[in-house]
C-alpha cells in the first residue's frame, strides 16, 4: 500500500494530492497494530528526504506534511536496530547531506532541521561536520542563496535557544537568561572562529538578515559559565568584547530598529553573564566602556527611537553600578566617569521630550506607568553611583523648573502650553527624585548622602504645598501621581516600621529634622485628605492614595474628623451625582477598609461609637428603603446609592476582624436591611454592575469566621432570575452570568466550610435552607457549559473549591443526584485533572479522592453480610458507576500518565486518589500497566515491570485508608525509578488508545 502512496506522491502534480499522499503515509507509519516493516520505513524515510531535496517549489503545507512524516518515522523508530545500528538516529548526518544537495529548498530544510532538532534534543553535536561550515561557503552576493542563509540562521538560533534542561524560562525574564549548552558542544565555543564567524556575518550580510545574526550572538554570549574554565572564559569574553567594539566603531547598521534592539540585548548580556571584575581585565575595556557610554548617551538623547530597547541599556548600567562595591580587580572600572553621564542623559532627555510631546501630540511615556516605573527602578541604582553629581543635577534642574512654574502662575499672560510643559518637567523630576531616594542602600549610605536626600525632599514638599493650594482651581493628575510615587519611596526608606531610627535622615537641615515626626503623620495624612477631597473622581489617584501605608494616626484630629465626617460633603467621591456608570466607585471599598481599621484601634465593644460611625450608612439604607417603598423612583439614583453603600459595607466587613466588632456589623445589617439587598437583586438581576457588589458583600460576610449565615437565599434569588436571561452573547457571558455564579459558588463554599453550625440540625428541625442552597448550586452548575468551567480561571477556582467541600462533607447529596448530573460532575473532575492551574488540578485530586473513598466504602459494605441495607442513594450511586466504568477508568489513566510522563507539580495530591482508583479497577490497571511496559524498548521492559511491582509492594487490596501513606511513599520511589528507566525514551501511553 505504501508504494502506491509513494507513487501518487511522485507523480501527482496537484499540491492537494501530494498532501493526501503525505498524510496517508504518516498514518501508515504511525500504526501500532501491524506496523510497517523496518525496511519499508527506511525506504520511506530516504524517499522523503530525496523528494524534499529535489522539489524546492512545493507548497508550504505539503512541505510541512512531509517534514511531519519524517519526524514521525524518526521518533517511532528511534530504538529500532538493523545490524547493530540505530538506523533512525543519524539525523544530523541526514540533515547535513540534505543541506549540501539542496540548492533551493530552503523552507523544507529549515522545517526539517527544526523538527528533527526537537526529536534529537541535546544529543546533537554542533561540530565542524554539521551546518556551521555552510556559512562561509555561501555566496552572499547571490540573492538566490539569501533564503538558504536566512533558514540557516533560524536553524542556528533555534538550536541555541533550545530548552536543554526543561526549565521553560519565562520570556519576560529575558535579561536573566542563561543558555544551558550541552557539554558536547564545548569545542565549538572554545574555537574562536565560531564567534568570529557571526561577527563577520553581521558586517557582511544585508541589513535585513543582521538582526538574526545578533540574536544568535545574544545566545552565544549567554552560554553557561561552567562550560569554560577561568582561562577559557576570559579568552571567550575577550573575543566577545572585541566583536562588540567593532560594531560600536562601525554603527551604521544600528540605524535599523531591529538591529539596534538586538544589539542592546547583547550589551545587557555582557553584564548579566559576566562579572565586572572579569570585564575590567579585558584588554580593550577602557575603550569599550567609553564606546558603550557614548552609545547609551546618544540612545537616551534620541528617546523617540526604539523606546523598548532602552530597558536593556539601563539594565546594563544598573548591573554595572550595583557591582562597584564588590569589584576586587585592581584595574580601574571607570564607572565614576561614565555613570553620571548616563544619568544626566536620561534625566535631561526626559525633560526635553515634554515640550515636543505636547507640541506634536505624541504619545506621552508618562501614560505607561509600568514602563516608567521599570526605568526608574533601574535609574535608582545608576543615580546612586556618584550620588553627589546626581543630586547637584537634580537640584539645579528642579530649582529652574520650579522657579519658571511659579513665574508662570503669577503671570496673567501665561499660556496653557507653557504651564503644561513646566508641570510635565516637574512630574519627571518628582518621579526621578523619588526613585533615587528609593535606591538608597543602608550599608553604602553616608551622612552626606542623607543630607542630599533631605535637600531633594524639601523641594518636593514645597512643590506639594504649592500645587495643593491650587487644587480648588486646577490640578495636574500626572504630577499628583508622581507625588504619590515619591511619598511611597520616601516612606519605604525613611519612615517604614522596619527602618531603624538611626537610619533616619539624620543629616537633614535642622528645620526639617524638627518636623520629622510631623512629616511622618501630619504631612502624609494631610496629603491623604487633600487628595480624597479634590481627586475623588480620579480613580488612579484615589486608589494610590488609599494604598499608602498610614499607621499610628488615630489620635490625630484629622483622623477623628474622617471617622466622624465620611460623607460626600467632605469627600466628593462618596457622592452619587455622577450618572454615567457604576464602575467609578471601586475605591470606596478601600477607603472604608482603611477607616474600619482606624476605627478598630479604639472601638472595643463601644456600641455608641460604632453607631455614630455608621450614621451615614444608616441614612443611605433608609433612603434606598424609602425609594423601594414607592411605585416610581429614580432608578439610576437608587442604583448608585445602593452600589456605593454595599461597597462601603464590604470594606468595613473586611476590616472588622474581631468577633465583637463583626457581630456589631452583622446585627446591624441582619435582619433589618437584608430585605433591601434581596429586593435589589430581584429588581436588577440582569445588571452585574449592581448584583456583583451585593454578592461580594454577602461573600465577605460569610467568609468571616465570627458570622452566622442565617440566610442562604441569595444564590436562590440569583438563580431564579439569572436563568431567565436566555441566550447570552459569548463575549458577555462572563460579565452577565458567570461572574455572579462564581461569587455564589464562593459564598456557598465559605458557608459550608465555616463551621457555623452542625449540618444535621437542618434536617432535624425541618429547615430546608441547606437543601435549597445545594439544589440551587446544581441548577446553576447545569446552566454552565463544560468548556466554560476551565476557560474562566475565577469560575474554575470557585467551582472546584466548592466541589471539594461537597465531596468531603456531603457525598450523600452527591450520590442522590440524577445520573446525568453525576456524570457532569465526574466529567468536570476528569477535565480539571489536566488543568494548567495547579490549584484547580489539586482540588480535582481531592474531589476524586473523596469520591473514590466513598465508593470503596460503599462497595465494601455491599459485599459484607449486614443486617442494615445500603441507603437508596448509595445503592444508586454504585449502580451508576457500574454502568459507566469508563469514567473512573479514564481518570485512572489520566492520573497515571501525568505521574509517569509529565512534570507532576502536585505528586502528593495525585497519589491520594490513585490508590483507590487502582483498587476499584484492578483488571483495567493491569491492562494499562502492560500497555505502558510493552511501549518501552525491549531492553527497558523488565525494569519498567519491576517499577510497577514495587509500586504496589506492601499494599493490602482490601484496605484503602490504612495504605494511603505507604502508597504515597511507594509512588515517590516509583517516579524516580521510572525517570531513571525512561530518561532516554520518548514513549508514552495514550489514554484514549487504552480506552478504545
pLDDT tens-digit map of 55-98: 777 888 888 888 888 888 888 887 888 777 888 877 767 666 66
Task: Give dist(CA 940, CA 986) in Å, integer.
Answer: 12
- Is residue 17 classed exposed, middle or buried when 0-12, 13-18 and 19+ CB atoms within 10 A define those classes? middle
Asked if 345 contacts 301 with a C-beta cutoff of 8 angstroms, the reply is yes
Cβ 655 vs Cβ 662: under 8 Å: no
What is the b/e burial string over 277-314, where b = at least 16 CB atoms within 10 angstroms of the residue's CB?
ebbbebeebeebbebbbebbbebbeebeebeebbbbbb
Dihedral angle over CA of 160, 164, 170, 172, nearest 10: -10
Cα distances (angstroms) measured from residue 20 to each of 23, 27, 60, 760: 5, 11, 14, 65
Q: DSSP state, 179?
A: B
Question: Where does 39-181 show beta strands of DSSP type E?
Answer: none
Band the pLDDT of 594: cuts 50, 70, 90: confident
Give 871's pLDDT tier (boundaries 50, 70, 90): low
The answer, yes or no, to whether residue 241 has pLDDT greater than 70, is: yes
* SS3 category, 62: helix
Confidence band of 873 (pLDDT split at 50, 70, 90): low
Among 54, 42, 2, 48, CA closest to 25: 2
DSSP one-letter string for 257-275: HHHHHHHHHHHHHHHHSS-
- Lowest model confidence (mean pLDDT) among 111-115, 156-160, 271-275, 486-490: 111-115
CA quadruple 183, 184, 190, 194: dihedral, nearest 10: -120
Question: Mean per-residue pLDDT for 660-683?
Answer: 85
Strand partners, 223: 179
CA–chain centroid gap for 827, Å, is 28
Average pLDDT over residues 912-937: 86
Q: What is the mean pLDDT of the chain?
A: 79
Instruction: Kindly state the average pLDDT of the residues 875-883.
Output: 80
CA-CA distances (angstroms) from residue 389 to 336, 340, 377, 396? 10, 7, 19, 11
DSSP letter (8 states) at residue 86: B
Please, which pLDDT band fits residue 725 given cuts at 50, 70 and 90?
Answer: low
CB-based contact 455:390 (threshold 8 Å): no
For 532-585, the pLDDT digits (tens) are 667 666 767 766 776 654 444 555 666 777 778 777 777 777 775 555 566 667
Q: How many residues appear in the chain?
A: 996
910: its cell numbers: 495525585
Mean pLDDT check: name the lowest of 785-794, 818-827, 902-911. Answer: 902-911
**What is residue 402's predicted lDDT score, i.e. its pLDDT?**
93
Whether the upstream peptide bond of residue 671 has omega within 30° of 0, thus cis, is yes
Most confident of 4-13, 494-503, 881-890: 881-890
Across 122-126, 286-290, 515-519, 968-972, which has the greatest mean pLDDT? 286-290
Query: Computed from CA positions of residues 751, 753, 754, 759, in that sequence, does the dihedral angle turn out positive or negative?
Result: positive
- Kindly tell me if the per-residue pLDDT of 684 is higher than 50: yes
Q: Are 741 and 685 in contact (CB under 8 A)?
A: no
Identify the residue with better confidence: 214 or 963. Answer: 214
Higher local confidence (pLDDT), 451 or 604: 451
Task: State residue 988's pLDDT score.
Answer: 40
- With a pLDDT cut of 70, the percent of the chain lying above it is 79
Report the distance separating Cα 88 and Cα 92, nearest Å.
Answer: 11
Three cell numbers, residue 600: 478598630
Give pLDDT, residue 4. 66
pLDDT in tens, 167-191: 554 444 555 578 888 888 888 888 8
The pLDDT of residue 995 is above 70? no
CA-wise closest residue to 430 among 419, 438, 442 = 438
Prediction pTM value: 0.62
Query: How far from the centroid of its chain's Cα atoms is residue 912's Cα?
Result: 29
Coil/strand/helix, residue 223: strand
Q: Residue 974: what pLDDT? A: 85
Amino acid at each position: 500500500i505504501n508504494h502506491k502512496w509513494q507513487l501518487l506522491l511522485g507523480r501527482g502534480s496537484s499540491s492537494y494530492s501530494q498532501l493526501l499522499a503525505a498524510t496517508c503515509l504518516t498514518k501508515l507509519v504511525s500504526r501500532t497494530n501491524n506496523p510497517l516493516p523496518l525496511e519499508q520505513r527506511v525506504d520511506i524515510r530516504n524517499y522523503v528526504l530525496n523528494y524534499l531535496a529535489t522539489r524546492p517549489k512545493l507548497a508550504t503545507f505539503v512541505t510541512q506534511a512531509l517534514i511531519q512524516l519524517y519526524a514521525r518515522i524518526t521518533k517511532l523508530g528511534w530504538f529500532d536496530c538493523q545490524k547493530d545500528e540505530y538506523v533512525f538516529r543519524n539525523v544530523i548526518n541526514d540533515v547535513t547531506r540534505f543541506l549540501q544537495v539542496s540548492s533551493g529548498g530552503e523552507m523544507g530544510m529549515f522545517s526539517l532541521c527544526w523538527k528533527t532538532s526537537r526529536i534529537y534534543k541535546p544529543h546533537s553535536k554542533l561540530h565542524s561536520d554539521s551546518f556551521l561550515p555552510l556559512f562561509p561557503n555561501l555566496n552572499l552576493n547571490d540573492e538566490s542563496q539569501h533564503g538558504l542563509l536566512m533558514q540557516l540562521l533560524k536553524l542556528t538560533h533555534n538550536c541555541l535557544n533550545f530548552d536543554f534542561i526543561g526549565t521553560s524560562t519565562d520570556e519576560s525574564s529575558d535579561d536573566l537568561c542563561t543558555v544551558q549548552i550541552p557539554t558536547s558542544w564545548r569545542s565549538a565555543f572554545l574555537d574562536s572562529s565560531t564567534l568570529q564567524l557571526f561577527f563577520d556575518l553581521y558586517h557582511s550580510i544585508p541589513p535585513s538578515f543582521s538582526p538574526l545574526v545578533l540574536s544568535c550572538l545574544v545566545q552565544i554570549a549567554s552560554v553557561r559559565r561552567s562550560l569554560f574554565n577561568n582561562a577559557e572564559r576570559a579568552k571567550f569574553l575577550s573575543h566577545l568584547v572585541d566583536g562588540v567594539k567593532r560594531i560600536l566603531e562601525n554603527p551604521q547598521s544600528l540605524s535599523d530598529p531591529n538591529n539596534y534592539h538586538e544589539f542592546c540585548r547583547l550589551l545587557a548580556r555582557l553584564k548579566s553573564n559576566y562579572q565586572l571584575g572579569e570585564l575590567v581585565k579585558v584588554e580593550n575595556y577602557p575603550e569599550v566602556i567609553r564606546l558603550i557610554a557614548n552609545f547609551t548617551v546618544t540612545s537616551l538623547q534620541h528617546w523617540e527611537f526604539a523606546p523598548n530597547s532602552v530597558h536593556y541599556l539601563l539594565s546594563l548600567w544598573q548591573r554595572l553600578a550595583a557591582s562597584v562595591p564588590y569589584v576586587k580587580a585592581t584595574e580601574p572600572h571607570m564607572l565614576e566617569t561614565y555613570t553620571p553621564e548616563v544619568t544626566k542623559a536620561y534625566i535631561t532627555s526626559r525633560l526635553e521630550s515634554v515640550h515636543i510631546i505636547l507640541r506634536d501630540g505624541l504619545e506621552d511615556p508618562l501614560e505607561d506607568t509600568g514602563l516608567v516605573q521599570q526605568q526608574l527602578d533601574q535609574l535608582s541604582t545608576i543615580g546612586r553611583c556618584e550620588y553627589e553629581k546626581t543630586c547637584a543635577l537634580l537640584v539645579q534642574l528642579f530649582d529652574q523648573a520650579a522657579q519658571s512654574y511659579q513665574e508662570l502662575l503669577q503671570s496673567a499672560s501665561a499660556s496653557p502650553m507653557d504651564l503644561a510643559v513646566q508641570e510635565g518637567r516637574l512630574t519627571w523630576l518628582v518621579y526621578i527624585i523619588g526613585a533615587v531616594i528609593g535606591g538608597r542602600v543602608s550599608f553604602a549610605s553616608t551622612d552626606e548622602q542623607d543630607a542630599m536626600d533631605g535637600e531633594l525632599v524639601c523641594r518636593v514638599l514645597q512643590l506639594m504645598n504649592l500645587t495643593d493650594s491650587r487644587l480648588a482651581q486646577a490640578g495636574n493628575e500626572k504630577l499628583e501621581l508622581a507625588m504619590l510615587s515619591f511619598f511611597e519611596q520616601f516612606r519605604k526608606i525613611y519612615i517604614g516600621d522596619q527602618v531603624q531610627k538611626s537610619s533616619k535622615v539624620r543629616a537633614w537641615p535642622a528645620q526639617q529634622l524638627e518636623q520629622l515626626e510631623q512629616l511622618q503623620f501630619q504631612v502624609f495624612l494631610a496629603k491623604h485628605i487633600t487628595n480624597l477631597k479634590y481627586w475623588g473622581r480620579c480613580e488612579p489617584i484615589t486608589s494610590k492614595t488609599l494604598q499608602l501605608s498610614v499607621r499610628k494616626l488615630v489620635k490625630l484630629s484629622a483622623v477623628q474628623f474622617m471617622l466622624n465626617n465620611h460623607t460626600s460633603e467632605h469627600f466628593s467621591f462618596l457622592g452619587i451625582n455622577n450618572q454615567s456608570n457604576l464602575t467609578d466607585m471601586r475605591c470606596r471599598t478601600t477607603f472604608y477598609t482603611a477607616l474600619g481599621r482606624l476605627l478598630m484601634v479604639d472601638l472595643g465593644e463601644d456600641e455608641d461609637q460604632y453607631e455614630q460611625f455608621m450614621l451615614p450608612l444608616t441614612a443611605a439604607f433608609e433612603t434606598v428603603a424609602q425609594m423601594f417603598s414607592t411605585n416610581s423612583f429614580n432608578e439610576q439614583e437608587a442604583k448608585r446609592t445602593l452600589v456605593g453603600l454595599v461597597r462601603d459595607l464590604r470594606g468595613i466587613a473586611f476590616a472588622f476582624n474581631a468577633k465583637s466588632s463583626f457581630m456589631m456589623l452583622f446585627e446591624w445589617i441582619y435582619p433589618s436591611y437584608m430585605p433591601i439587598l434581596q429586593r435589589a437583586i430581584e429588581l436588577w438581576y440582569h445588571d452585574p454592575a449592581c448584583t456583583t457588589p451585593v454578592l461580594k458583600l454577602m461573600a465577605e460576610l460569610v467568609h468571616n469566621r465570627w458570622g452566622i449565615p442565617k440566610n442562604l437565599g441569595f444564590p436562590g434569588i440569583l438563580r431564579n432570575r439569572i436563568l431567565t436571561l436566555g441566550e447570552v452573547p459569548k463575549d458577555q457571558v462572563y460579565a452577565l452570568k458567570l461572574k455572579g455564579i462564581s461569587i455564589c459558588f464562593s459564598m456557598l463554599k465559605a458557608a459550608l466550610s465555616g463551621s457555623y453550625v452542625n449540618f444535621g440540625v437542618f434536617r432535624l428541625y425541618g429547615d430546608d435552607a441547606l437543601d435549597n442552597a445545594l439544589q440551587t448550586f446544581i441548577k446553576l452548575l447545569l446552566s454552565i457549559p463544560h468548556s466554560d468551567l476551565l476557560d474562566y480561571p475565577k469560575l474554575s477556582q470557585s467551582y472546584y473549591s466548592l466541589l471539594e467541600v461537597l465531596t468531603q462533607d456531603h457525598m450523600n447529596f452527591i450520590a442522590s443526584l440524577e445520573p446525568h448530573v453525576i456524570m457532569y460532575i465526574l466529567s468536570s473532575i476528569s477535565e480539571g485533572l489536566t488543568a494548567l492551574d495547579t490549584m484547580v488540578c489539586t482540588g480535582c485530586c481531592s474531589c476524586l479522592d473523596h469520591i473514590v473513598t466513598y465508593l470503596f466504602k460503599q462497595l465494601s459494605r455491599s459485599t459484607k453480610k449486614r443486617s442494615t441495607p445500603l441507603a437508596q442513594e448509595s445503592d444508586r450511586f454504585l449502580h451508576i458507576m457500574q454502568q459507566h466504568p469508563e469514567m473512573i477508568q479514564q481518570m485512572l489513566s489520566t492520573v497515571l500518565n501525568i505521574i509517569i510522563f509529565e512534570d507532576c507539580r502536585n505528586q502528593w495530591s495525585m497519589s491520594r486518589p490513585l490508590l483507590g482508583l487502582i483498587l476499584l479497577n484492578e483488571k483495567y490497571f493491569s491492562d494499562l500497566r502492560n500497555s505502558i511496559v510493552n511501549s518501552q524498548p525491549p531492553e527497558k521492559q523488565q525494569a519498567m515491570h519491576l517499577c510497577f511491582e514495587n509500586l504496589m509492594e506492601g499494599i493490602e487490596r482490601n484496605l484503602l485508608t490504612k495504605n494511603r501513606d505507604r502508597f504515597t511513599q511507594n509512588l515517590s520511589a516509583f517516579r524516580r525509578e521510572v525517570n531513571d528507566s525512561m530518561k532516554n525514551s520518548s514513549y508514552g501511553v495514550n489514554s484514549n488508545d487504552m480506552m478504545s
